[in-house]
Amino acid sequence: MIAVTGVSMRYGSKVLFEDVTTTFARGRRYGLTGPNGAGKSTFMKLLTGDLDPQRGTVVRPPKLGVLRQDHYAFDEHRVIDTVIMGNQRLWQALAERDALYARADMSNEDGMRLGELEGIVGEEDGYSAESDAAVLLQGLDIADALHERRMAELQGGQKVRVLLAQALYGRPDALLLDEPTNHLDLDSIHWLQQLLSRYEGTLIVISHDRHFLNGICTHIADIDYETIITYTGGYDDMVVAKTQIRTTIEAGNVQREKKIAQLNDFIARFGAGTRASQVTSRRKEVERLQTTELARSNIQRPYIKFSSRRPSGKVVLECEGVAKAHGPAPVISGFGAVVNRGDRVVLVGRNGAGKTTLLKALLADAPDMTASPGDVDAGAVRWGHEVSIGYFRQDHAGEIEKGMTAVEWLHQFDPDASRQDIHGLLGQMLFSGEEGLKPTEALSGGETARLLFCRIMLQQPNVLVLDEPTNHLDLESINALNVALQKYDGTVFLVTHDQDLLEEAGTRVWQFDRGRVIDFKGTYEEHSASVA
C-alpha cells in the first residue's frame, strides 16, 4: 500500500494539488489521469521518492518497481544486467558475491559473508535471474541476440522496453509506470496488459491510451479541481461518474441561487419595515445557502475539425510493385493497392515492420510534397485527380521553424487568412490569448503536435497521412482527434498504436506481417476477428 497524507504542490501561483490525502491499496490497479500540465509526472515523482512534497507525507513499501525515464543511465551495462538491476537487493548481493569469488585468498570472514550473500541470492531467486529476465525481454520483443549487448547499442524504443522489463523484474510490492506504452507496438501492449492484469501488488500507471486504461485499471485517480479524486472502474467509467458528479453539483448550485434570489428579494422589500425578525431569519438563510465556489477544472478540450477545400477524384491512389530496402534487407516488396475517396486506412504491425517506410514510399513524389525519390526503390505510384495532402510526420522535431511565434509560423501557410482567423484556429487548439505569441522554440511536445494539427486544418487537404499522431497528446486531445477523423469526409492513412483509434476511425487495414502487407477491406475489429 502507498499512503499519501496532506500533500500539496504548487509552482508560483499555479496549484497542482492541495492537501491531498489518499491511499493506493494492494491488489488494485490505478490509472493516474489528467490533462498535460495537471501534475501527473510530478505526483508520480512524489510517490517514487524522487521529489519531496512541499507539504505532507508519502509512505511507500520498501520494494518499488519504477519505469525510469532516463534512457541513457544504463548505457554501459549489458541489457540482461540492466533488467536484473530492477531488484537492487539481488543485484548488490550478486556484485559483492562475484567480487569475493574473484579474490585469490579468502578469509574466514569472507567465507561467512559469502554464505550470507548466497542466502540473499536464493531468497531473491537469483539462481534463475538471467532466465527470468530473458522471459520479460522476450515478451517485450527484445530478441535473444540483444540480451548480451550494451544498452548504448539499442535504439530508443528498445531501451524503453528494457527499462520496462527492469521495473517489472523482482516481484516489487508496487509498480509505478509513467507512460509504459510509449514506443510499444500493439502486440507488446497486449502482452503488457495481460501481465499487469495478473499483478497482485499496487499498480499506478500514467497513460494516454484509453483502451489500455480501460483494460487494466480497477480504479482511476484523476488529478483535477486542485485535488485527486479516485473513481472505481476504468477510464470510461471515470468519465461518466465525473460528469454525473459535476452535473449534480452544478444543478444544486442553480437551485440554491434561485432560492437566494427569492430571499434577497424579500429582504430588499421588507428590510426597512416592521418584519425585522423575518428579514434577519432570511439573511441567515442566505448565508447558509451561499454557493460554495467550485475549484476550477484544469481539463481543456481542443476542437479538431478536418475539412477539405475541394474533393479529390474517386480514385485517390493507385500503386503497384512498390519496393523499398534498407541496405541489403528488403522492407517493402511488390506492394500494390487501389485506395478510393473516403477510405480510412490504418497501418498495423510490429515496430520496424515498415509502416513508416511504406508511407514515405507512397509520398516520394506526391502532390504538395517535397520530392524524395530516395524513399522508394521501385514501383509505380499514381495519386488521383485534385488530391491535396496533409502530412503529420512521426519524426517532426525539426518541422517547426525556430525564431518565430506560433502565430507567425502558422500564418505563412495561408498569408491571405486574417490575423483573427489564425488566432481563432490557435484558440481551438488551446493556444488562447497570449499563448499564440509563444516562441516556437519554447513549445512542448504536446504544443508542437497541436500546432501541426492547426496547419493541417488551415490547409484543408482532402487526404490525411498521419504517422503516430497521438505521441505527446493527452487523452482529451486523442479523443478529439478520434471524433475528427470519424467525421472527416476525405481519405485517411493512419499509423497508430492506440487501439480505440484503430477500431473507431479505421475502415480498412493494411497488416504488416513478416515482410508482406495484407490489404484487408474492413474494420480493425473485423480484421482481428478474421485472424483470431
DSSP letter assigned to residue 341: T
Q: Which of 230, 208, 209, 205 is nearest to 220 (CA)?
A: 230
Q: Can you give the pLDDT at residue 80? A: 96
Q: Judge if 459 and 321 occupy the same domain.
A: yes
Whether 306 is in a domain gets the answer no
pLDDT at 494 over 60: yes
Strand 378-383 relative to strand 329-340, pairing: unpaired
pLDDT grade, residue 292 (50/70/90)?
Answer: low
C-alpha cell at 213: 486504461
The DSSP string of 422-477 is HHHHHHHTT--GGGGG-BGGG--HHHHHHHHHHHHHHH--SEEEEESTTTT--HHH
Q: Of 206, 238, 270, which marks where a domain is finished?
A: 238
Q: Can you give the pLDDT at residue 8? A: 92
Entry pTM: 0.76
Q: Judge if 330 and 455 occupy the same domain.
A: yes
Q: Judge if 168 and 118 occupy the same domain.
A: yes
Whether 285 is in a domain gets the answer yes
Whether 296 is in a domain gets the answer no
Q: Judge if 347 and 473 occupy the same domain.
A: yes
* CA 261/CA 276 separation, integer angstroms: 19
pLDDT at 127 over 70: yes
294: helix, coil or strand? coil
* CA 366/CA 388 separation, integer angstroms: 9
Per-residue pLDDT tens digits for 107-122: 888 889 989 999 999 9
Q: Can you give the pLDDT at residue 387? A: 95
pLDDT at 296 over 80: no
pLDDT at 324 over 60: yes
Q: Of 197, 221, 238, which marks where a domain is finished?
A: 238
Q: Judge if 87 and 144 occupy the same domain.
A: yes
Q: Judge if 138 and 250 occupy the same domain.
A: no
Q: Can you give the pLDDT at residue 363? A: 95
Residue 81 phi/psi, 5° resolution? -70, -35
Mean pLDDT calculated for residue range 293-313: 81
What residue numbers bound the domain in which 62 lies?
Answer: 2-238
Q: Judge if 271 and 348 occupy the same domain.
A: no
Mean pLDDT calculated for residue range 343-353: 91
Average model confidence (pLDDT) across the chain = 88
517: helix, coil or strand? strand
The residue ranking higher by pLDDT, 409 or 158, is 409
Q: Which of 348, 360, 341 is nearest to 518 (CA)?
A: 348
Q: How far is the CA of 261 from the CAs of 258, 289, 416, in angstroms?
A: 5, 11, 50
Q: What percent of the chain has pLDDT over 70?
A: 95
Q: Judge if 234 and 247 occupy the same domain.
A: no
pLDDT grade, residue 380 (50/70/90)?
Answer: very high
Whether 302 is in a domain gets the answer no
Q: Judge if 220 and 326 occupy the same domain.
A: no
Q: Of 289, 306, 330, which marks where a domain is finished?
A: 289
Strand 2-11 relative to strand 55-59, pairing: antiparallel
Residue 462 phi/psi, 5° resolution? -100, 0
Whether 218 is in a domain gets the answer yes
Range with top average pLDDT, 27-41, 157-171, 495-509: 495-509
Whether 89 is in a domain gets the answer yes
For residue 331, give the CATH number of its domain.
Answer: 3.40.50.300
Q: Judge if 359 and 414 occupy the same domain.
A: yes
Other Cβ atoms within 10 Å of 383 Cβ, number: 24
The residue ranking higher by pLDDT, 174 or 34, is 174
Whether 295 is in a domain gets the answer no
- CA 465 to chain CA centroid, nearest Å: 20
Whether 249 is in a domain gets the answer yes
The total of structural domains in the chain comes to 3
Q: Judge if 223 and 372 occupy the same domain.
A: no
Mean pLDDT calculated for residue range 306-322: 95
Q: Can you give the pLDDT at residue 480? A: 93
Q: Judge if 251 and 232 occupy the same domain.
A: no
pLDDT at 295 over 60: no
